[in-house]
Amino acid sequence: MIHSLFLINHSGDIFLEKHWKSVISRSVCDYFFEVKEKAVDPENVPPVLQTPHHYLISIYRGKLFFLSVVQTEVPPLFVIEFLHRVADTFQDYFGECSEGVIKDNLVTVYELLEEMLDNGFPLATESNVLKEMIRPPNILRSVVNTLTGGSNVGDTLPTGQLSNVPWRRAGVKYTNNEAYFDVVEEIDAILDKSGTTVFAEIQGVVEACVRLTGMPDLTLSFMNPRLLDDMSFHPCVRFKRWESERVLSFIPPDGNFTLMTYHVSSQNLVAIPVYVKQNINFFETGSCGRLDITIGPKQNMGKTVEGLMVTIHMPKVVLSANLTATQGNYTYDLTTKVLVWDIGKLNPQKLPNLRGSLSMQAGAPKPEENPSLNIDLKIQQLAISGLKVSRLDMYGEKYKPFKGVKYLTKAGKFQVRT
């Protein structure tokens, strides 16, 4: 299956290589570099490439390419999903997945890769199991290790792999037992020029942070599970129980994890929390343009819209922007041609407005298309679909845990066409 892995940074340096079978020369990456050169934008590099003797399957995460080499037929998604799992693991271990962090923890990273694959086939990918074998670094431990000559390799054997709940490590102990759930919903929408909704849907995810002693068996139920249309679960969720009773019953992994993702059934109309009035004009003569954007609240269930931000990818000919914002401030990046207007909290009494002129390259023809606006926003304590957690029960352990549920609505891919 997966033969080798190369980690490549933005500028094209290979800074880590790992081979699970015999060694493949790093020159195989040259094919990749060639394509990358052509693609200009790293996002446009095709994830699967064919070379005379190998296949290269890559992902782009955190400004890094994870490039795996495959020699025979393998489902491409298998490799892609695995590579993302590797990136997730790094994120989980080191807090971020970047070149610097990986270079700083090169040995740990190498050990992780060693455990995650055996002969190219995934062996241990559950973060709970991995953490049992290779402890994540932290300052305290590195100090202790320096003093005592200890190590960050667990001296216990990975018993988690033998357990029937491979996602949970054994012998978990906490003084404060707590279970927190975040219901985060994202609105993906496309609005057209006139403000009518072309397409809108709600994606949700239930993120959990569970720190409970022992082997708790949790049951999470919703007030209105009928809202949920399509979902995917963490393997710990008992699917049959969900099918029959519409409750999430599971023995949770220790720590942070994604319990489920869901999609709200499309019959329900999606409430769009803000409206946008925009007017962007480029004049045929005089190489300038006008821009006028106003944002107001629409359906937000009485909550305040926060973290409001508008991002516009301007046409290349726009040289500079001379605008005034009634609220927040704007920046225009001359190299990437991205205009960002950071508004903050939306005040319904005084609607934020951004207006002014855009100056364009002299002599260049006026752009045909107006740039579309990407909107970012947050609403605390509200799940826009109306989904509510009704209760969380714990079985199997005797103590009383702290429980909490938080709701958050965000804009996902929220785009206004102009």
Partner 1 sequence: MSASSAFNDEKGGSSSVGEPEYGHDPASGGIFSSDYKRHDDLKEMLDSNKDSLKLEAMKRIVAMIARGKNASDLFPAVVKNVACKNIEVKKLVYVYLVRYAEEQQDLALLSISTFQRGLKDPNQLIRASALRVLSSIRVTIIVPIMMLAIKEAASDMSPYVRKTAAHAIPKLYSLDPEQKDQLIEVIEKLLADKTTLVAGSVVMAFEEVCPERIDLIHKNYRKLCNLLIDVEEWGQVVIINMLTRYARTQFLNPNINESLLEEGGGGEKTFYGSDEDEDEDEEEKEKKAEVAAMAKRKPYVMDPDHRLLLRNTKPLLQSRNAAVVMAVAQLYFHLAPKAEVGVIAKALVRLLRSHSEVQYVVLQNVATMTIKRRGMFEPYLKSFYIRSTDPTQIKVLKLEVLTNLANETNISTILREFQTYIKSMDKDFVAATIQAIGRCATNIGEVRDTCLNGLVQLLSNRDELVVAESVVVIKKLLQMQPEKHSDIIKHMAKLTDNIQVPMARASILWLIGEYCEHVPKIAPDVLRKMAKSFTNEEDIVKLQIINLAAKLYLTNSKQTKLLTQYVLNLAKYDQNYDIRDRARFIRQLIVPTEKSGALSKYAKKLFLALKPAPVLESPFKDRDHFQLGSLSHLLNAKAGGYQELPDWPEAAPDPSVRNVEVPEWTKCSSREKRKEKKVEKPFYSDSEGESGPTESADSESDSASGSESGSGSEESGSGSESEESEEGSESEEEEEEEEEKDKKKKKKELKKPVPETESEQSSEEEDRKIKRKSKQRKSDSESESDEDEESESESSQSESEDSESEIEVKKKKKTAEMKPPSKPVKKETKKEKKEMSLLDLDDFEPAPSPQVTPVNTFLSNSLVTDLEGLSLSDSVLSPATIAPSSVLKNYELLHRITGEGLSVEYCFSRQPFSPDANMVAVQMQFTNSATSDTKNLHMEDVKLQSGMRVKEFPEIELLSAGETAMAVMGIDFCDSTQAANFQLCTHTRKFFVSIQPPVGELMRPIFLTENEFKKEQGQLMGMNEITEKLTLDAKCRNEHAIVQRVTTAANLSRVPCGSDKECRFAGRTVTSSSLVLVTVATKEEGAAQLTVNCEKMVIGTMLVKDILLALTQ
Site for partner 1 in 310-339 (CB under 8 A): 313, 315-316
Q: Which part of the chain contacts partner 1 (CB under 8 A), choosing from 158-166, 277-285, 287-295, 379-387?
A: 158-166
Among 38, 41, 267, 349, binds partner 1 (CB under 8 A): 41
DSSP, residue by residue, 64-82: EEEEEEE-S---HHHHHHH
Least distance in angstroms from the C-beta of 20 to partner 1: 8
Q: List Cα–Cα distances, 302 to 26, 215, 294, 305, in angstroms.
A: 58, 40, 20, 9
Write down the least CB distance from residue 109 to partner 1, Å: 7
Give the largest CA-CA distance in the chain. 77
What is the CB neighbour count within 10 angstroms for residue 194? 6
**Tokens 């216990």 found at:** 156
Q: Rank residues 226 and 398 by Cβ distance to partner 1 and give the closer one.
A: 398
Q: Which is nearer to partner 1, 12 or 235 (CB)?
A: 235
d(CA 222, CA 238): 16
When asked if residue 415 is in the footprint of partner 1 (CB under 8 A), the reply is yes
Taking residue 394's Cβ as centre, other Cβ atoms within 10 Å add up to 18
* Residue 367 contacts partner 1 per CB under 8 A: yes
Among 35, 101, 170, 190, binds partner 1 (CB under 8 A): 190
- Which position has the token pair 């606006």? 373
Burial 241-255 (b: 16+ CB within 10 A, else e): ebeeeebbbbbbbbb
Output the smallest distance, CB 26 to partner 1, in A: 6
Residue 127 contacts residue 94 (beta carbons within 8 Å): no
* Token reading at 374: 């990407």
Nearer to partner 1, 142 or 329 (CB): 142
Among 95, 100, 171, 239, binds partner 1 (CB under 8 A): 239
Task: State whether the Cα torsion 7-13-14-16 is positive or negative.
Answer: negative
Of 212, 138, 209, 112, the residue nearest 169 (C-alpha)? 212
How many residues belong to the chain?
A: 418
Interface with partner 1, residue 290, by CB under 8 A: no
261 binds partner 1 (CB under 8 A): yes
Q: Binding to partner 1 (CB under 8 A): which residues in 98-137? A: 103-104, 106-107, 109-111, 114, 118-119, 121-123, 125
Rounded to the nearest 10 degrees, the angle between the axes of helix 106-116 and helix 76-94 is: 140
CB of 381 to partner 1, least distance (A): 23
Q: Which of 285, 336, 350, 369 binds partner 1 (CB under 8 A)?
A: 369
* From 37, 77, 178, 329, residue interacting with partner 1 (rule: CB under 8 A): 77
Q: Does 207 bind partner 1 (CB under 8 A)?
A: no
Query: Is residue 283 at the binding interface for partner 1, with CB under 8 A as the rule?
Result: no
User: Would you state the structure tokens that stand for residue 33, as one six-digit string?
Assistant: 């570099």
Contact 47, 58 (CB under 8 A): yes
Q: Least distance in Å: CB of 349 to partner 1?
A: 32
Pick the closest to residue 371 from 320, 313, 416 (CA basis): 313
Compute the least distance from the CB of residue 106 to partner 1, in Å: 5
403 binds partner 1 (CB under 8 A): no
Q: Is the CB of residue 200 less than 8 Å from the CB of residue 218? A: no
**Segment lying near partner 1 (by CB under 8 A), choices 80-88, 90-98, 291-299, 400-408:** 80-88
Q: Which of 10, 63, 76, 224 binds partner 1 (CB under 8 A)?
A: 76
> What gap in Å lies between CA 84 and CA 207, rounded to an integer?
18
Closest Cα to residue 128, out of 163, 79, 177? 163
Interaction of residue 153 with partner 1, rule CB under 8 A: yes
By CB under 8 A, residue 47 contacts partner 1: yes
* Closest listed residue to residue 361, CA positions, set 314, 400, 415, 398: 314
Does 149 bind partner 1 (CB under 8 A)? Our answer is: yes
18 part of the interface to partner 1, by CB under 8 A: yes
Q: By C-beta, is 239 or 345 nearer to partner 1?
A: 239
Q: Which of 243, 285, 335, 350 binds partner 1 (CB under 8 A)?
A: 243
Q: What is the CA radius of gyration of the chain?
A: 25
Q: Is 63 in the site for partner 1 (CB under 8 A)?
A: no
Q: Which residue lies nearer to partner 1 by CB, 311 or 347?
A: 311
Nearest CA to 128 out of 92, 173, 78 is that of 92
Give min distance, CB of 121 to partner 1, in A.
Answer: 5
Residue from the set 11, 27, 52, 75 that interacts with partner 1 by CB under 8 A: 75
